[in-house]
Amino acid sequence: MNQKSEFSVFSETGQLKQVMLHRPGREIDRLTIDNMDELLFDDLLWLEQAQREHDNFADILRANGTEVLYFNRTLAEAIARPEVREELINDVFRFECLDRRISDEFRPVLMDMAAQELADHLIEGWTKEEVNGVCDRSLSLVASVSNGSSFVIHPIPNLYFQRDPAITVADGIILGQMTFEARRIEPLYWKYILRFHPRFSGMRILFGDAPDEVWPQKAEGGDVLVLSDKAAAIGVSQRTAPTTVQRIGRNLAAKTSIKRVFAFEIPRGRYCMHLDTVFTMVDKDAFCIYPPLLESLKVWQLDYSDEGILMKLEQKKDWRSAVAETLEVEKLRLIVMNGRDEAETAREQWHDGCNTLAVAPGKVVTYNRNKNASKLLRDNGVEVLELEGPELGRGRGGPRCMSMPLNRGPVR
């Protein structure tokens, strides 16, 4: 029997006690004009400034009582034992489809590294030129050809968006199954943390570890909102498939206290890639929402038995009342993030005006550039902690995207 985990999340707004972040590293400098589309970026980032902004983000969280864990350090601690490092290296080689010749040459190079150096290198990637400097490429076609990728191990610059590859729900974790190839390796590293890091030894994997819970069962954490100990909301989006929503609902019901899932169908587009780019929870009864979503949103309520059997699937025309009833509040407070005109509304949404991170009920972190969004939140009784993040925001993600809550206090 597994020991009880020290981490649990039963709400979106309870006091944020622990969080996982990834401070942007050299992988950001791997972005170029030629590869940024493939790596899911719209622009190139200035690394040093992004790091300064990210450090300020971590400081804001610490000042509000949150313990900050860093992904690269946690991964390094998880692979401290040589046999674990070798297992991970072999998994990475399989993922990258490296031939036996380059694998046999390259494995000792990586095994000679300290755990922290290896973790950092796996995140920032290895170019063919770099690998050829330490390995004999003469019999490796992978390392020799010039058409195609310039990487042998690809960088993962999206990793600073820690929300997506793993999501703490109740007392377990959902492993993301990433839509695009550029991010598909991220849950593998999370799996090693869950298997081998002592602080995570009691955590159950609620989804993403079974043979039929992998690609194309798409799911990303930006689409998952933990409403309460009884219910979750999951976006049906560009990056999370409806079949996966139903499967996650089944697993949650069978393994946790969450028996109800609200499936939010949102437009499949870059501007609203995840549910949390257009809809987030800011208090126990309050949500901010991007106004055009009100015109197109469809919501289904899925109710499960304790065994995970789907008992009811119903589209909710009055979804606000259904969510309010589930949360046991009189009604939802919807903060509609309207700007002074359509241009300002769209601009602030593009700059993640809705992508707020609650550090406590009615207390959120958001980018300071979204002046109107912050005013609307304050006018509705929400305390706003402003983060200066023009460089971080170029990656198309806000404070919620950049954070993976590990533990939250109860909401009273």
User: Which positions are catalytic?
Assistant: 401
Percentages helix, strand, coil for the chain (3-state, rounded to 5) are 35, 20, 40
Contact predicate 403/162, CB 8 Å: yes
**Residue among 266, 262, 286, 272 at smallest CA distance from 364:** 286
Burial of 49 from C-beta contacts in 10 A (0-12 / 13-18 / 19+): middle
- Structure letter (DSSP) for residue 155: -
d(CA 212, CA 292): 35
CA distances for 339 relative to 83, 98, 118, 332, 336, angstroms: 55, 50, 46, 21, 9
Whether the link from the prior residue into 187 is cis, omega within 30° of 0, is no
- End-to-end CA distance of the chain, in Å? 31
* Bridge partners, residue 315, by sequence: 300
